[in-house]
Amino acid sequence: MKKTAIVTTVFVAALMLATAGFAGQNNYGCGLGSMVFENNDSVVSQTLAATTNGTFASQLFGITSGTSNCEKPESFVYNEKVKVFVADNMDNLAADMARGSGEYLDTLATLMDVPQADRASLYNTLQANFSSIYTSDQVSSTDVLRNMDSVL
Amino acid sequence: MRRLLTASIPLFFFLAALSAHPVLASGDPARQAEARALEKRLYDHPYWRTLLHYQTGFRGLRSRVDDPGFFLSENGATDPRAELLAFIRALYAPLDPENEKAHAACRFPARLRFVVEELGLDPSQLPMPECRFFREMLDRLDPVSASIVFPAAYMNSPASLFGHTLLTIRTRQGTELTSQAVNYAAVTTDTFGPSYAVKGIFGLYRGYFSMQPYYVKIQEYSDVSRRDIWQYTLNLSPEEIGRMFAHLYEMEGIWSDYFFFDENCSHALLFLLDAARPGLGLADQAGLWVIPVDTLRLALENGLAEDRQFRPSKATRMQRMADRLSGPGLGLALSAARGAEEPGAVLASGLPDREKGLALDLSAETLQFLLTSRKLTEEAYRKQYLSVLKARSTLAAAGQEAEAPAPPPAPPEDGHRSALLAFGGQSVDGEAHATLRFLPAYHGLVDDARGFAPGAQIFFGDFLARMSLEDNNWEMERMAFIDILSIAPRDALFSPVSWAARLGFERRVMDDGTDDLVGFLTAGRGWAWEVGPLGTAYGFAMGDSEFFGRVEQDFALGPAVQAGLLSRITDRFTIHAFSRYTHFVLGDYHDRLETSVDAQVHLSRNHAVQAEAHLVRSRGFWTPEYSLAWNLYF
């Protein structure tokens, strides 16, 4: 009996030690700072939070993680793919825009169908007008799209 | 270079071509198709086995899929023949125009294609639905290429110790970031560690396939978890990717019991690759254990990968930024990120403009880390992040040189193999022994670190037996179920936690001077620093225990400290030295001091010579052991 109790205790303790730091939920939103948090890697690496919307149709028909929590973007000149991408990548896109280069900016230009030759000037315009695009720390992806539209 | 493929063949075009087939002789077409399938023994066809995930294991032939919704026959999980016949009958079932999605022909597009092609069925004889839903999805996907993606090991999550594999499908419009990432994962809402681990190991979770934009995965792995990512473009044609997607579509919403060690993320992907290219048979080549890097090797050995790209994690890129900054520049960048200085201070500094830009870029990245590691509230982060970026936008654009990549580290497939067999000799207290060691997984501190996370030791099932040359008796010296040591150095940018956990049995000296097999469980956290050319020094605070054997009261429990130094002297020579002292205060009262100097010469990728001097003082006895072994990784 005693041995069984010790084995159980030891095994549970070992597992607790080996798995310390499992917690967290994905927290996608649509403004700045709505990103994945540390310590929920357990939820993402071999596991998937039950709340994550990973159905194929929702991916292919453009209702992704970010936009599902957001106010619906008004109809702009921008296509659905641009809206979804901006909503899902607000922070990394902001950094690229402020520095005038980067992978997120390149993807934005690709989704907007901007030819390679025109990209340098697009990036310059976006960088120069960064403060009028990301206007405040409460800015939403819809605001960013609208402000981009008025700058360009 | 990424091969750009311009021709995409929609999956269902082949049906049009088939309509020229001779109409079958009169009679019930379903019966005729069944008869033909039996005559051809189509149920034994390897591709049918791939599509239904049949494998021969302990319980005979059985599908790896556990969801009854995946089978049309009641015995489908174990009977490929019954399942094939049931599918053929279902193909000829009348169509409900309101719900054509549910018809077998639409529900299982890959099976449909296989059966129609192999039996030469005449589509005009089938109540052929349009399957608009599936076709629209395939059109939307519009694949041009696919990749296998390997995020490197992440030591701070047990689920990620071995790395991970997923697939990405690049679509025609978009970039790498907007590729679709196909991931097989256990679905859980559990956040409590032990139950998670138990369920993960014993298959109590359900695994599902999911699809998400690759940028979501990049945020998780690269941005938050600091994992470098390796990407291998597969030489699959758009037509083959279409086949793969047809099978993936069949797998949506279908669950299988998820086993951390074999039916895991990596194993499931093999079936997708097999579905893409008939005849590949990767799933049957996989061993008993499926470690992500082995999946990767399997794909490479089968000539599936065309090229390799390295995507450094955000942390790796930050390290490189920090390396390019001067001391004052780095100081300002960190002060701006921690809110000690306004970003304006960087602009007002006397630094050259290029360095101001770099410093603010680093500040912004650091702020993201402070947020994701919860050292900053979202509120504070937003304000600071935006003010750093506003300052940054007033400086010139970062040139290409800002992103200049440093040479990537050795890729994971270049590392030593995952299992180890070692033959050697040992002198214990002057008595000579022959030793045999077997380690099914995975990597030790003194092993060649090429392709592995440096400073990460992961042993699962370390087994050491020895035979005394005096009496020729074999005895078990050690059986460690788990022995993990994660040594993560702290620096100006990051302060990661080092940790250790060991559980197993080993021979230890008892009060009367003889030895006995004793259980041990040790765990703790630590701190590590780079100490220049010496390597990495570390210290741990631990809890240690002994149990079973002739341990009095069956247990001993007490605090322990461990200090050590890991030095990679050259690419071919590594030394690890440590000392651990435990004071067992509960149960069997005693203390124990263990000191070891362990060195390895890496002869080639899968061969090494290892030597260790190991000295224990416990219960008033000194036990010196000297070992020498030849390591074979396989």
User: pLDDT digit string (tens) for B80-113?
Assistant: 999 999 999 999 998 888 888 889 999 999 999 9
**C-alpha B154 chain-centroid distance:** 9
Residue A131 exposed, middle or buried by CB count within 10 Å (0-12, 13-18, 19+): middle
Lowest mean pLDDT among A50-59, A65-74, B472-481: A65-74
Q: Which residue in A10, A33, A36 is closest to B382 by CB distance?
A: A33
Residue B99 exposed, middle or buried by CB count within 10 Å (0-12, 13-18, 19+): exposed
Q: Report percent pLDDT > 90 for chain A.
A: 38
User: pLDDT digit string (tens) for B442-484?
Assistant: 999 999 999 998 889 999 899 999 999 999 999 999 999 999 9
Nearest-angstrom CA–CA distance, A88 and A35: 9
Provide the shortest C-alpha distance from residue B361 to chain A (in Å): 7
In a domain, A68, yes or no: yes
Cβ(B517)–Cβ(B494) under 8 Å? Answer: no
Which of A37 and B527 is assigned the larger pLDDT? B527
CB contact under 8 A, A104 and B177: yes
Domain range for A138 is 22-151
Confidence of residue A77 (pLDDT cuts 50, 70, 90): low
Closest A-chain CA to B384:
A137
Mean pLDDT over A37-42 rounds to 39
In a domain, A1, yes or no: no
Is the bond preceding residue B442 a cis peptide, omega within 30 degrees? yes
Which of B241 and B140 is assigned the larger pLDDT? B241
Lowest mean pLDDT among B160-164, B316-320, B502-506: B160-164
Cα Rg, chain A, nearest whole Å: 21
Query: Which is nearest to B229 in space by CA: B444, B411, B362?
Result: B411
Provide the shortest C-alpha distance from residue A8 to chain B (in Å): 12
- Residue keyed to tokens 């429990």: B557
User: pLDDT digit string (tens) for B255-276?
Assistant: 888 776 666 777 889 999 999 9
Strand partners of residue B193:
none
pLDDT for position B201: 63
Confidence of residue A15 (pLDDT cuts 50, 70, 90): very low
Lowest mean pLDDT among B110-114, B161-165, B361-365, B565-569: B161-165
pLDDT for position B289: 67
Nearest-angstrom CA–CA distance, B574 and B536: 12
pLDDT of B614 strictly over 50: yes
Nearest-angstrom CA–CA distance, B369 and B381: 10
Tokens of B592: 């124990």
pLDDT of B237 strictly over 80: yes
Lowest mean pLDDT among A1-15, A95-109, B560-574: A1-15
Confidence of residue B301 (pLDDT cuts 50, 70, 90): very high
Lowest mean pLDDT among B141-150, B217-226, B325-334, B446-455: B217-226
pLDDT of B128 strictly over 90: no
CB contact under 8 A, B159 and A35: no
pLDDT for position B6: 34
Nearest-angstrom CA–CA distance, B469 and B483: 29
Chain A positions in Cβ-Cβ contact with residue B295 (cut-off 8 Å): none
Q: What is the DSSP string of B196-232?
A: HHHHHHTT-EEEEEEEEEHHHHHIIIIIIS---EEEE
Chain B positions in Cβ-Cβ contact with residue A123 (cut-off 8 Å): 397
Provide the shortest C-alpha distance from residue A17 to chain B (in Å): 7
Judge whether A64 is closer than 8 Å to chain B, CB to CB: yes
Provide the shortest C-alpha distance from residue A146 to chain B (in Å): 18
Cβ(B110)–Cβ(B243) under 8 Å? Answer: yes
CB contact under 8 A, A37 and B374: yes
Confidence of residue A34 (pLDDT cuts 50, 70, 90): low
Judge whether A117 is closer than 8 Å to chain B, CB to CB: no
Strand partners of residue A30:
none
Mean pLDDT over B175-203 rounds to 73
Give the count of domains, chain A: 1
Mean pLDDT over B543-570 rounds to 95
pLDDT for position A64: 44
User: pLDDT digit string (tens) for B27-82?
Assistant: 788 999 999 999 999 999 999 999 999 998 888 899 989 999 999 999 999 999 99
In a domain, A115, yes or no: yes
Crossing angle of the two packed helices A80-88 and A90-99, in degrees rounded to 10: 90
CB contact under 8 A, A32 and B386: yes
Judge whether A107 is closer than 8 Å to chain B, CB to CB: yes
In one letter, which amino acid is B447? D
pLDDT for position B12: 44
Judge whether A116 is closer than 8 Å to chain B, CB to CB: no
pLDDT for position B191: 54
pLDDT of B575 strictly over 50: yes
Mean pLDDT of chain B: 88
CB contact under 8 A, A130 and B393: yes
Question: Which of A69-73, A95-99, B198-202 ranks highest by mean pLDDT?
Answer: A95-99
In a domain, A37, yes or no: yes
Chain B positions in Cβ-Cβ contact with residue A51 (cut-off 8 Å): 189
pLDDT for position B430: 87
Provide the shortest C-alpha distance from residue A9 to chain B (in Å): 11
Q: Report percent pLDDT > 90 for chain B.
A: 67
In a domain, A10, yes or no: no
Cβ(B625)–Cβ(B427) under 8 Å? Answer: yes
Which of B95 and B542 is assigned the larger pLDDT? B542
Within 8 A by CB and 6+ apart from B350, the residues are none
pLDDT for position B268: 85
CB contact under 8 A, A50 and B189: yes
Q: How many residues does chain A have?
A: 152
In a domain, A131, yes or no: yes
pLDDT for position B187: 73
Mean pLDDT over B272-297 rounds to 88
Cβ(B429)–Cβ(B464) under 8 Å? Answer: no
Exposure string (b/e) for B32-69, b if CB count within 10 Å is 16 or more? bbbebbeeeebbebebbbbbbbbbeeeeeebbbbbbee
Lowest mean pLDDT among B13-22, B162-171, B536-545: B13-22
Judge whether A65 is closer than 8 Å to chain B, CB to CB: yes
CB contact under 8 A, B137 and A56: yes
pLDDT for position A9: 56
pLDDT of B401 strictly over 60: no
CB contact under 8 A, B185 and A97: no
Confidence of residue B154 (pLDDT cuts 50, 70, 90): confident
E strand intervals along B214-319: 229-234, 256-258, 305-311
Q: How many CB atoms lie within 10 A of CB B23?
A: 9
Cα-flanking dihedrals φ and ψ of residue B4, to 5°? -95, 120
pLDDT for position B157: 66
In a domain, A16, yes or no: no
Tokens of B136: 């629209």
Three-state secondary structure along B98-149?
A: HHHHHCHHHHCHHHHHHHHHHHCCCHHHCCCCCCHHHHHHHHHHCEEEEEEE
Lowest mean pLDDT among A92-106, B117-131, B200-214: B200-214
In a domain, A146, yes or no: yes
Within 8 A by CB and 6+ apart from A74, the residues are A142, A146
CB contact under 8 A, B197 and A81: no
Nearest-angstrom CA–CA distance, A23 and A40: 6
User: pLDDT digit string (tens) for B198-210?
Assistant: 666 666 678 888 8
pLDDT of A3 strictly over 70: no
